[in-house]
Amino acid sequence: MLKSNILVAFILGFSAGPVASFHHASPTSRRATTCNGSPDLCTRSFGNVTFVGTHNSYAVGINNLATNQDYNITQQLNDGVRMLQMQTHNLSGVIQLCHTSCSLYNGGPLSTYLGTVKTWLDANPNEVLSLLIVNSDNFPPTSYDSVFKSAGLDTISYAPPSASIPAAQWPTLGTLIDAGTRLVTFMDASADFTSVPYIIDEFTNIWESPYGVTTTFDCSVNRTKGDSSIQMYLINHFLDTLVLGQPVPNPNQANQTNAVSGPNSLGDQFDLCVTQYGRNPNFMLVDFYEYGGGSVFEVAATANGVTYSPTTPIATPIPQGTSSTTGSSSNSAAPTTTRWATVSVLVSSALGVLYVV
Ligand SMILES: *[C@@H]1O[C@H](CO)[C@@H](O)[C@H](O)[C@H]1NC(C)=O
Ligand SMILES: *[C@@H]1O[C@H](CO)[C@@H](O)[C@H](O)[C@H]1NC(C)=O
Ligand SMILES: *[C@@H]1O[C@H](CO)[C@@H](O)[C@H](O)[C@H]1NC(C)=O
Ligand SMILES: *[C@@H]1O[C@H](CO)[C@@H](O)[C@H](O)[C@H]1NC(C)=O
Ligand SMILES: *[C@@H]1O[C@H](CO)[C@@H](O)[C@H](O)[C@H]1NC(C)=O
């Protein structure tokens, strides 16, 4: 649908930005008529929409135990992912996207990643996107602000009126799009509303279900710093397996884990949460998102009461052991070793408490 809108814009000869799915409501204001792929979502509060997110979105590659995704973030976004979760580390003063440690997996600097995000947002003007940053080494928000500014993302970031907002009080997707503030960034630690208001504190706004699950997903409130009854909530729906006592991502069960229904599926955990809380999860973080052939997006579409009808097929899973390194990784760490070669790194890190979740 997106692609065809853009195509229409080209055919009609519009060249200056977000045109095809806007109409001129008045001479001074434009109003989006399609929001995140659907007209129905324009009038819905951001806090009342279910989004699919990729856990460790930058940790792309195959044959490496520290990777959580097969496809780069451009492909993730094209396929429908609308929250990108990431973990940052301090590599000689640079904010770097690494998994647990930069020797285990180095996904390049945040600045490069945000450049890709900016390119995608520019090409998709009717989309609201969220970022979730795990600030592992506690960089101050001002350090992020510099990187966001360089990428041109500060001006399209949503800054809420206060440090925390109940789920019911978020602006609509239409409002965010019309205002040109379509990027909503959350951070787990060290957010400071008074210094950088668009880096939004995660846990006073969102509660999370348990992560690093190796058995059955539940829907308990695992982490929050607020009143979970009125906050948005995120479910961690990625199944790990234990290797030498360490939880690591496991693509082998991802078809079932990501499925619409069945034991321990995304649909299953979703239903459990709705039964417990009477409302849908806002964010659903998954690994190997394309396993299930779009099932994760189907769960979200159904939750939102819209039809899931992708105009292009989503990416196909890349089997482990595939020798080619092309097409699967846009990041610097080329998956040239086998997935299991990472075991040696795990062994060496087992003395320090390093987890690859
Ligand atoms: C990041 O690491 C550098 C040393 O490489 C250090 O000088 C700096 O203080 C660190 N930054 C933070 C936020 O810890
Ligand atoms: C949160 O989940 C982790 C496992 O992911 C568990 O060890 C911890 O006890 C849980 N904490 C709470 C408060 O539920
Ligand atoms: C996942 O499902 C796809 C499509 O049905 C299939 O080709 C693939 O072999 C499955 N992968 C695993 C690990 O079960
Ligand atoms: C959105 O609101 C509807 C109607 O109250 C509710 O059923 C649904 O669970 C809400 N979704 C989210 C993500 O809050
Ligand atoms: C991202 O992956 C797609 C294939 O899924 C590829 O066409 C594209 O070139 C990649 N982008 C980058 C920046 O590597």
What are the boundaries of each domain within the chain?
44-303
Kindly give the distance from the C-alpha atom of residue 316 to the centroid of ligand 3, in angstroms, as a whole number: 9
Residue whose CA lies nearest to ligand 3 atom number 1: 255
Q: Which of 93, 68, 54, 55 is nearest to 333 (CA)?
A: 68
pLDDT at 357: 56
Who contacts 39 (Cβ-Cβ below 8 Å, separation ≥6)?
33
Q: Which ligand 2 atom is the nearest neighbour of the CA of 220?
A: 14
Ligand 5 site, residue 68, Cβ cutoff 6 A: no
Q: Which ligand 1 atom is the nearest neighbour of the CA of 90?
A: 1
Q: Which ligand approaches the C-alpha of residue 332 most closely?
A: 5
Distance (Å, whole) CA 124 – CA 81: 13
Residue whose CA lies nearest to ligand 1 atom number 8: 93
**Would the pLDDT of 258 be above 90?**
yes
**Would the pLDDT of 121 be above 60?**
yes
pLDDT at 350: 41
Average pLDDT for 327-337: 35
What fold, for 44-303? TIM Barrel (3.20.20)
Q: Between vectors from CA 337 to CA 334 and to CA 338, what angle results, nearest 5°?
A: 125
Mean of the per-residue pLDDT values for the chain?
86
pLDDT at 10: 28
**Would the pLDDT of 161 be above 80?**
yes
pLDDT in tens, 264-285: 999 999 999 999 999 999 999 9
Enter the pTM of the model.
0.88
Q: Report DSSP state, residue 159.
A: -
Phi/psi of residue 275, each to 5°?
-60, -40
Share of the chain above pLDDT 70, in %: 82
Residues annotated as catalytic are 55, 99
pLDDT at 330: 38
pLDDT in tens, 281-321: 999 999 999 999 999 999 999 999 999 999 889 999 998 77
Average pLDDT for 125-133: 98
Kindly give the distance from the C-alpha atom of residue 300 to the centroid of ligand 4, in angstroms, as a whole number: 12
Distance (Å, whole) CA 85 – CA 59: 10
Distance (Å, whole) CA 181 – CA 251: 35
